[in-house]
């Protein structure tokens, strides 16, 4: 089975500060990992993905994520948060033996001015 956990329902950060949104996963084999963002009343938008190769993945809007196999984590990071980054963030995983993605419950990121 494959599963993903986002341990924080909400993350609060001040504008200009670094942000981290946590994600841990469980798969039986090697994972494919994704981050998506959802702005209010919109569908999800792709941010970045890890398939293979470099453990540090860079994505849209200055976001990056680090794949850590020993800790089974794929935390989303940004060096300097913007108020416009406030949104709902979803981590998703796919075990290479599966054909579908499993999404986490989402983490609301609130960036204050």
Partner 1 sequence: NAGVTQTPKFQVLKTGQSMTLQCAQDMNHEYMSWYRQDPGMGLRLIHYSVGAGITDQGEVPNGYNVSRSTTEDFPLRLLSAAPSQTSVYFCASSYSGLGLDTQYFGPGTRLTVL
Site for partner 1, rule CB under 8 A:
9, 32, 36, 41-46, 49, 51, 90, 94, 98-106
Among 100, 111, 38, 112, smallest CA distance to 78 is for 111
Q: Which is nearer to partner 1, 4 or 13 (CB)?
A: 4
For the chain, how far is it from start to end, CA to CA, in angstroms?
41
Q: Which is nearer to partner 1, 15 or 103 (CB)?
A: 103
In the bound complex, what is the minimum distance in angstroms from residue 46's beta carbon to partner 1?
Answer: 4
Please give the Cα distance from 107 to 29 (Å, whole number). 25
């Amino acid at each position: 089975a494959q599963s993903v956990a986002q341990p924080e329902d909400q993350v609060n950060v001040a504008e200009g500060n670094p942000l981290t949104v946590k994600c841990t996963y469980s798969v039986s084999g090697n994972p494919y990992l994704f981050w998506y963002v959802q702005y209010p009343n919109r569908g999800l938008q792709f941010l970045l993905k890890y398939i293979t190769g470099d453990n540090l993945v860079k994505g849209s809007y200055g976001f990056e994520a680090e794949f850590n196999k020993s800790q089974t984590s794929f935390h989303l990071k940004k060096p300097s948060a913007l108020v416009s980054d406030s949104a709902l963030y979803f981590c998703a995983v796919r075990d290479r033996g599966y054909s579908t993605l499993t999404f986490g419950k989402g983490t609301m990121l609130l960036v204050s001015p």
